[in-house]
């Protein structure tokens, strides 16, 4: 049996040790080497692309990092998967892009706007996903 004094020392010592471990892990998590968000690569172009992404409701049909609508393909890795040329062509297309049946909105973006969106998609595609790379989409028969 612990005496009252020993119990108090045990409690205070245990609290101190776990508190220090907690602080240590917090510092470690926030250290630069642990950053996975690529925030340094967020250029003005990426920000413009993100605004276009928001204001055109791409999320209504598509997912990024698994978040969004499940009507259309996952786009986190779309630049890697399809290449810039393909994505640019479909963003600038005056006709609905639908090689797989469902229709992508014919936004008819300008070249500058398409390049901004591509910069945003490139940035998100370069985020370190801790191995969660193979996000699938309903239409993505040939995506993997």
Please report, as ranges, the residues that interact with ligand HEC according to CB under 6 A.
Answer: 53, 56-58, 60-62, 71-73, 75, 78, 81-82, 87, 90, 97-105, 107, 117, 139
| Cβ 131 to ligand HEC shortest distance, Å | 21
48 or 81: whose CB is closer to ligand HEC?
A: 81
Backbone angles phi, psi at 64, to 5 degrees: -125, 130
How buried is 30 (Cβ within 10 angstroms: 0-12 exposed, 13-18 middle, 19+ buried)? exposed
Q: Are residues 63 and 69 in contact, defined by beta-carbon separation less than 8 angstroms?
A: yes
Rounded CA-CA distance 4/53 in Å is 63
35 or 111: whose CB is closer to ligand HEC?
A: 111
73 or 125: whose CB is closer to ligand HEC?
A: 73
Tokens of 4: 């009252």
43 or 144: whose CB is closer to ligand HEC?
A: 144
| Cβ 34 to ligand HEC shortest distance, Å | 30
């Amino acid at each position: 049996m612990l005496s009252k004094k020993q119990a108090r020392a045990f409690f205070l010592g245990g609290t101190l040790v776990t508190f220090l471990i907690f602080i240590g892990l917090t510092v470690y998590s926030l250290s630069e080497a642990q950053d996975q968000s690529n925030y340094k690569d967020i250029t003005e172009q990426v920000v413009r692309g993100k605004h276009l992404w928001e204001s055109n409701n791409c999320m209504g049909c598509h997912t990024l990092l698994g978040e969004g609508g499940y009507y259309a393909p996952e786009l986190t890795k779309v630049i890697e998967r399809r290449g810039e040329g393909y994505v640019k062509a479909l963003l600038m297309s005056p006709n609905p892009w639908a090689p797989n049946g469902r229709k992508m909105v014919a936004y008819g973006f300008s070249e500058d706007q398409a390049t901004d969106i591509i910069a945003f998609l490139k940035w998100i595609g370069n985020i370190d996903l801790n191995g969660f790379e193979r996000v699938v989409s309903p239409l993505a028969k040939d995506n993997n």
